[in-house]
């Protein structure tokens, strides 16, 4: 996959890729097989790691159509190849699982890696934004509301507001990442096959053994044990919501940069890099392409997140008939887009150019208009002192201090 349809996709590397998904699915199968052995049900385990590779992806993709998901041909491939070196383990491979167990858990494992990458970018952004907020706390500019000049403001205040958005997104993302669940329910979410295997092999209390298998495998994978969620799709929608919240925060910053980098405003500019922002027809242009691409992700994310919620709302019976299947591509795209946008936003903030002289000139030129609210307030109080020469910034510095303190607490938790 080259990423021509989504410039910058290379920044996501192998995260939430087909290769990563297959590796994760194999990891799930191996962990379950090991749990069967530990429970005294199966007689042999196997790490499975060298049985499939990227060369198998085209065949798996084609064969997935017959059963409707890629786990079915993957299990067949694993079992056939494992039989040559470990026939006993091959016999027990996948026993007690259903394809949705494996794919859901593999998707969660892939999402976990992507969430960790986005989290790292949010940490970097929090530090950069806190520094911008503090450095430019006295850099006067015009506040704009509904596209029009409003009251005096500072760029430090704007950066502090951006910072809160990033921190809000980070808190939501970490909350989701901390509770990512495994999915082990068997054919209809009752762990019937696992319970029956425990009964047949006299492996202790069968229901407790089946539940223990699920819990043990979850722990081995570093995930939370959770009741089967085949048709209760909150684990997936929560991932989507957290990622969409991140692109919301990124998009908000990108929109401001796009507006303020217009030549007629010229208060901000993106970092310069060779070849970036070039036009194929107009040599004079330096397009704010990082902001454009971040905004693109912010515009795409809500519909992909809505697709996940629609799939959750359409879940039916004990296993969904299409609702589950439509999640995979939406989650794949949403995750990779968020990773790319996060990296682009960090680069943008790291090299953001702030023209304080231009900001001040615009503020001074609009001085009469931006103090109209102040004049209207002065008329309410008889004998009010003349404060026309004082700053009209309200509690801006206190708000900046609060944002920076919040960032420091967040960064301290990361350390």
Could you give the residue numbers annotated as active site?
A: 279, 319
- Listed residue (77, 117, 76, 96) closest to 33, CA to CA: 96
Q: What H or E segment, with its residue span, contains residue 378?
A: helix 372-378
CA neighbours closer than 13 Å in the CB half-sphere of residue 344: 32
Q: How far apart are CA 219 and CA 214, in angstroms?
A: 9
Q: What are 347's two structure tokens?
A: 């680069």
Q: How far apart are CA 415 and CA 404, in angstroms?
A: 16
- Is 154 within 8 Å of 138 (Cβ atoms)? yes
Give the phi and the psi of residue 383 in degrees, each rounded to 5. 70, 20
- Is 183 within 8 Å of 230 (Cβ atoms)? yes
164-188 per-residue burial string, b: 16 or more CB within 10 A, e: under 16: bbbbebbebbbebbeebbbbbbbbe
Q: What H or E segment, with its residue span, contains residue 16?
A: none
Measure the CA angle with vertex 342, ends 337 and 343; round to 5°.
105
Q: Which residue has the tokens 């079915």?
A: 72
Q: How far apart are CA 90 and CA 262, in angstroms?
A: 63
Give the phi and the psi of residue 264 in degrees, each rounded to 5. -75, -15
């Amino acid at each position: 996959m080259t990423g021509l349809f989504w410039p910058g996709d290379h920044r996501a590397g192998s995260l939430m890729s087909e290769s990563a998904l297959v590796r994760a699915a194999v990891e799930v199968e191996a962990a379950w097989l090991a749990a069967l052995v530990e429970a005294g049900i199966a007689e042999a385990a196997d790490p499975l790691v060298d049985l499939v590779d990227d060369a198998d992806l085209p065949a798996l993709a084609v064969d997935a159509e017959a059963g409707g998901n890629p786990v079915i041909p993957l299990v067949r491939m694993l079992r056939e190849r494992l039989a040559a070196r470990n026939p006993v383990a091959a016999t027990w491979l996948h026993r007690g699982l259903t394809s949705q167990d494996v794919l859901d858990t593999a998707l969660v494992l892939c999402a976990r890696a992507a969430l960790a990458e986005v989290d790292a970018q949010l940490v970097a952004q929090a530090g950069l934004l806190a520094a911008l907020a503090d450095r430019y706390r006295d850099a006067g500019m015009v506040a704009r509301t509904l596209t029009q000049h409003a009251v005096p403001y500072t760029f430090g205040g704007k950066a502090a507001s951006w910072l809160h958005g990033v921190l809000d997104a980070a808190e939501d993302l970490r909350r989701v990442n901390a509770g990512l669940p495994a999915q082990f329910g068997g054919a209809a979410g009752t762990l019937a096959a696992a319970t029956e295997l425990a009964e047949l092999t006299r492996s202790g209390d069968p229901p407790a053994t089946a539940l223990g298998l699920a819990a043990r495998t979850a722990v081995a994978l570093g995930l939370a044990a959770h009741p089967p969620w085949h048709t209760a799709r909150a684990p997936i929608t929560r991932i989507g919501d957290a990622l969409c919240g991140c692109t919301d925060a990124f998009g908000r910053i990108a929109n401001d940069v796009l507006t303020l980098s217009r030549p007629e405003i010229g208060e901000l500019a993106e970092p310069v890099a060779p070849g970036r922002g070039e036009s194929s027809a107009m040599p004079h242009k330096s397009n704010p392409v990082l902001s454009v691409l971040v905004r693109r992700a912010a515009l795409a994310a809500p519909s992909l997140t809505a697709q996940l919620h629609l799939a959750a709302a359409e879940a039916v019976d004990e296993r969904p008939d299409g609702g589950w299947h439509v999640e995979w591509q939406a989650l794949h795209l949403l995750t990779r887009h968020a990773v790319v946008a996060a990296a682009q936003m960090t680069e943008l903030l790291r090299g953001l150019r702030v023209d304080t002289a231009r900001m001040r000139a615009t503020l001074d030129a609009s001085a009469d208009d931006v103090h109209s609210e102040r004049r209207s307030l002065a008329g309410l109080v008889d004998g009010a002192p003349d404060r026309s020469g004082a700053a009209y910034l309200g509690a801006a510095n206190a708000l900046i201090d609060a944002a920076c303190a919040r960032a420091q607490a967040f960064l301290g938790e990361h350390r």
